[in-house]
Structure 1
Amino acid sequence: MLQMVLLHQSPGSHLQPLASSLKTTQKSSSVAAAPLPHKQVLPAPRFCSCGRRHFVEAATAAFLPVCFSNASSLHSDDYLGLLNRIHPPRPDWYEEFYASVMDSYMKSYEAEVAGYKSQLFGELRGKAKTVLEIGVGTGPNLEYYADNSEVQVFGVDPNRKMEKYARAAAAAVGLPPKNFHFVEAVAEAVPLDDASVDAVVGTLVLCSVKDVNMALKEVKRVLKPGGLFLFVEHVAAKDGTILKLLQSALDPLQQIVADGCHLTRETGKYISAAGFSSLELSMTSLSNAPCSLISPHVYGVACN
C-alpha cells in the first residue's frame, strides 16, 4: 500500500538518455541500454481557514512577474477560495508525511530518469530566465537549473510542507535562495501574470491535478509566445493489456492513497489537444519504475 502512495510527484520528475537531440528518438522499453522511444512531432492543432495560505498574498507581492491568476479582477480572496476548492485542506500530519516520503522514496526513480531530464532541460539553456514549475514537490528538478545564475524559478505546489524539502534541494545543488520562489498554489490557478515566463516544467503532476485541461490552459496563459513546456508523465497502459486492467482496477484506491493521482489518464492526448503551436511527444516504458503500474510514460517539449 505504501508503494502506491509514492507513485507521483506531488500536485508536483526522463527516462534513458536521449540521442543527440529530441528530434531523433527511437522506440525503447528500458532506460539503460535500448534505443529511445519513437517521437511524434505534431502540428499546431491551484488549507485551511486558519490563514496559512494567506502568505501567498504577501509573497506574490515581492515576485517579479507575479499577480493573482487569470485576470487583474481576480482578488486574493477569490484566489484563496479557488485554491481551497481545487485542493481541499489536508491535515498537517498527512502533508508532512507525504512530503517526507516523496523526498526519500523517489530517489531511485530520479536516478533512472536523469538522462532524459538532462536532455529535456538542455532545451532551456540560453532560452529561459524565468521558469514556472508546476508541482515542484520536494524539488528533484532544481539541480537542472543550478548552472544558470540568471534563472528565476517559481515552484508551485499545493502542499506547503514540500517547501522545506525543495529549499534544501536547491541549497544542495547550489541554486541561490534568491533564484527560487516557492508558491503554495495549484496548477489550475497559477498566481503569475499572462505571458510572464519563458518556460513551464511539469513532471509527474498532470496525473494528480483535478482538471487537466484547466491546468494546461494555465500553462499556455503564463507562457510567453514561443515559450516552452517541458513534461514527463506516467500514463495509462495500452488498452487490452493486463497492465491496463490492473491500472483500472486500482485507480480509485490510488486516487485516495496518493493524493489524487490517477493511473489511467491518457495525458499525452490532453497535451496534444491543448493547442500548442508545436509538440514533440515521445513514449516509453520504464523498466525500474518504483511500481510497474506507472511504467508507461510520455515526455517531451511543447512550444506556445
Structure 2
Amino acid sequence: MTVSTFEVHRGRGAFNAAFFGVLGPYIDRSVRRHKQRVYADLPSTVVEIGAGVGANLRYLAPGTTLIAIEPNRPMHGRLAAAAGRRGVRLDLRERVAERTGLPGGSADAVISSLVLCTVADPGEVLAEVRRILRPGGTFRFVEHVAAPDGTLTRGLQRALRRPWAWTFEGCSCERDLAAQVRGAGFSRVDVRAYRLHSPFVPFNTQIAGIAYA
C-alpha cells in the first residue's frame, strides 16, 4: 500500500465512513438505475477513484479485480469487508485521485461516484484518468452538480456551501462537472442530467455518463 498525502481528519474521516456505511444503501437506491446504465459490462479489472466503503461493488461481477484509489483510511476496513462479501479481489491503494501511481495507458475502465465534487482540482483528476486509460478505455461517472442559477436548489447549495463542505471533507455542491468532463480532452462524452427527490436537497441535481479515451 502506498502512502498518501491526504490528511485524514480524526472526526470527519470516521464520521464519513460511518455515514456512508449506514446511508449508502439508501443513496444507492436513489441512483441505482443510473449506475446500472453507466456501469454495465465493466471489464474484469476496474480502477475506482474514491472507492469509499464500497458502494459500487454491487456493480462488479464476482472475481473482478478492483484497484481502489482511496486516501481516507477510516473507509478501508468497510471497503475490504464489502469486497470480501462480494467476491471482488481488492487492490487497495492509499493514494489521492490526482496521483494514482498507475502506469499510463494501463486501465480499461475507471469509475467514480460522488468523488469529483470532493477533490481539490477536478481538472487534475480528469487529466490523471485520461493518462491511465488505454485508447478506447472508458471513464464511467455518477456525480452531483450545481443546480441551475435562480432555482431554490441553487440557493440552498450556496447557503449550505460551508457547513456541507466541512462535514463532507471538502465536498462542493457548486461545480459544473458536466462541462469539466466535456472539456477534459476525451474523444467522446455521453452525459445525462437528472434530479433526485431526497431530503439531501443540495445533492439532488446529478449527472451520469461515460467518457471515452
TM-score bin, normalised by smaller chain: over 0.9
Question: Could you report, residue by residue, the CA deviation over 1:99-157 in whole angstroms, capped at 9, with x for unpaired residues?
Answer: 12211122211112222222222142xxx23211000000011121134x3x3210111
Partner Cα separation in structure 1 for residue 113 and residue 12 of structure 2: 22
CA contact (8 A) 2:191 2:209 kept: yes
1:199 to 83, 97, 109: 109
SS of equivalent to 1:265: coil
What is the correspondence of 1:153-164 to structure 2 with a 5 Å cutoff?
A: 153-164=66-77
How far off is 1:94 after superposition?
Answer: 3.6
What is the correspondence of 1:11-160 to structure 2 with a 5 Å cutoff?
A: 55-56=1-2, 83-84=4-5, 87-91=6-10, 93-124=11-42, 128-147=43-62, 149=63, 151-160=64-73
How far off is 1:184 after superposition?
Answer: 0.9
- Letter of the 1:285 counterpart: R
Partner Cα separation in structure 2 for residue 113 and residue 250 of structure 1: 22
**Residues paired across the two proteins, number:** 213
- Letter of the 1:180 counterpart: L
What's the TM-score once normalised by structure 1's chain length? 0.67
Partner Cα separation in structure 1 for residue 181 and residue 41 of structure 2: 18
CA contact (8 A) 1:143 1:170 kept: no
SS of equivalent to 1:106: helix
SS of equivalent to 1:260: coil
How far off is 1:211 after superposition?
Answer: 0.6
How far off is 1:89 after superposition?
Answer: 4.1
Question: Could you report, residue by residue, the CA deviation over 1:73-110 in whole angstroms, capped at 9, with x for unpaired residues?
Answer: xxxxxxx5xx42xx33422x442232122111222111
Runs of 4 or more off by more than 3 Å in structure 1?
Answer: none
Partner Cα separation in structure 2 for residue 123 and residue 173 of structure 1: 17
Is the radius of gyration larger for structure 1 or structure 2?
1
What stretches of structure 1 of length at least 5 have no aligned partner?
1-54, 57-79
How far off is 1:222 after superposition?
Answer: 0.5
Aligned sequence identity (%): 34
RMSD: 1.5
Partner Cα separation in structure 2 for residue 302 and residue 123 of structure 1: 15
What stretches of structure 2 of length at least 5 have no aligned partner?
none
CA contact (8 A) 1:194 1:222 kept: yes
- The structure showing larger relative contact order (alpha-carbon pairs under 8 Å, at least 6 residues apart) is 1
2:190 equivalent to 1:277 = no
CA contact (8 A) 1:134 1:155 kept: yes
